[in-house]
Amino acid sequence: MNKAFVTGGTGFVGANLVRLLLREGYPVRALVRSGSRLDNLQDLDVELVEGDLNDPNLWQQMTGCKYLFHVAAHYSLWQKDQKILYQSNVLGTRHVLAAAQKAGIERTVYTSSVAAIGVKEGGIADETYQSPVEKLIGHYKKSKYWAEQEAVKAFQQGQEIVIVNPTSPIGAWDIKPTPTGEIVLRFLRRQMPAYIDTGLNFVHVEDVAKGHLLALQKGKAGDRYILGHQNLTLKQLLEQLSAITGIHAPQRAIPAWIPLTVAQIDEHLLTKFGKLPSVPVDAVRMATQTMFYDSTKAVRELELPQTPITTALHDAVNWFVKYSYTSL
């Protein structure tokens, strides 16, 4: 039996991965938290088990599965969420991998992030680069770094684990949505009069899902693989969105100090008076860096697909419109 146990299956990457696994003939058992939105798994032939990453009986829920895809993670750039980030991402990963070993899981694909690798100033980072942890901006990035170290330690102790580091995925089933999905949505809602001069590596979410399966099938245990595609400035991405939708792209770049000032007032001052902050300080700090990555290793060793980003944007736009995300 080649049954796969998937954490994070209700999320963006996880939902695309579950669909791919089912198409490829892998039975799927998915861990879902109590009260989770199950929209992304509706009408799929998936065995659902309710629980948490830190549940003591998690190994029992994995029993009978051959493979593990640990995709789940808590994402937040709010500084107040520091505790839950480490509890879910670091301790949760440690516990999930220990449960996998106890349950007899043969091979694991752990979903890290390029956030754990960090930014190579003035250059393009690959799997051999590692930013010092103290230079990683915010507790989310730091928690993903330490979570990846849990996967490395588990490998060193004898577990078959392949690490994948997705960049910024775009596509369908972005239910929350993710920060990249927020960019697309704000553009579609005409809520982007200006942009910050930054850059990211973008990839079709279906390629990220495929990269997980390829990592299971071909990846070298103990190695990490950047699942990405194209480095683009935010301005270039918005111009592609404009060509797809006919909506005019913003032409004015805004200095980073303006949103940074607003964010600092929001998060550090107005929250004391009960106001919900609009933009995390760490999000703006990240946007001051050009976050470019090289996925050559994954293309060469895993044969990671490289779907055009215009296709990914088309798919994202169509999905957001279909599910009425574009209406305020």
pLDDT along the chain (328 residues), means of 10: 96 98 98 92 96 94 97 82 91 98 98 96 95 91 97 98 97 93 92 85 98 98 98 95 95 64 55 57 63 97 98 97 82
DSSP letter assigned to residue 257: H
Q: Is the dihedral of CA 177, 179, 180, 183 positive or negative?
A: positive
What are the CB-based long-range contacts (under 8 Å, 24+) for 237-244? 237/183, 237/200, 237/202, 237/309, 237/313, 238/183, 238/187, 238/192, 238/195, 240/309, 240/310, 240/313, 241/184, 241/187, 241/313, 241/317, 243/310, 244/310, 244/313, 244/314, 244/317
The structure tokens listed for 195 are 């942009």
- DSSP characters over 51-74: --TT-TTHHHHHTT-SEEEE----
The structure tokens listed for 133 are 């942890």
Whether the link from the prior residue into 166 is cis, omega within 30° of 0, is no
CA distance 53 to 112: 15
The structure tokens listed for 49 are 């088990």
Q: In the prediction, which pLDDT does 257 show?
A: 47
- Nearest partner of 191 among 200, 199, 182, judged by Cα: 182
Q: In the prediction, which pLDDT does 220 show?
A: 98
Domains of the chain and CATH, by start: 4-175+202-233+292-309 (3.40.50.720)
Q: Which residues of 162-185 are buried (b: 16+ CB within 10 A; e: fewer)?
A: bbbbbbbbbbbbbbebbebbebbb
- DSSP characters over 127-167: TT----GGGS-HHHHHHHHHHHHHHHHHHHTT--EEEEEE-
CA distance 227 to 230: 11
- Nearest partner of 305 among 237, 201, 184, 212, judged by Cα: 212
pTM strictly above 0.75: yes
Q: In the prediction, which pLDDT does 287 show?
A: 62
Burial class (CB in 10 A: 0-12, 13-18, 19+), 40: buried
CA distance 228 to 164: 10
Q: In the prediction, which pLDDT does 38 show?
A: 94
The radius of gyration of the chain's CA atoms, rounded to the nearest angstrom, is 19
Neighbouring-strand partners of residue 105: none
Q: In the prediction, which pLDDT does 191 show?
A: 87
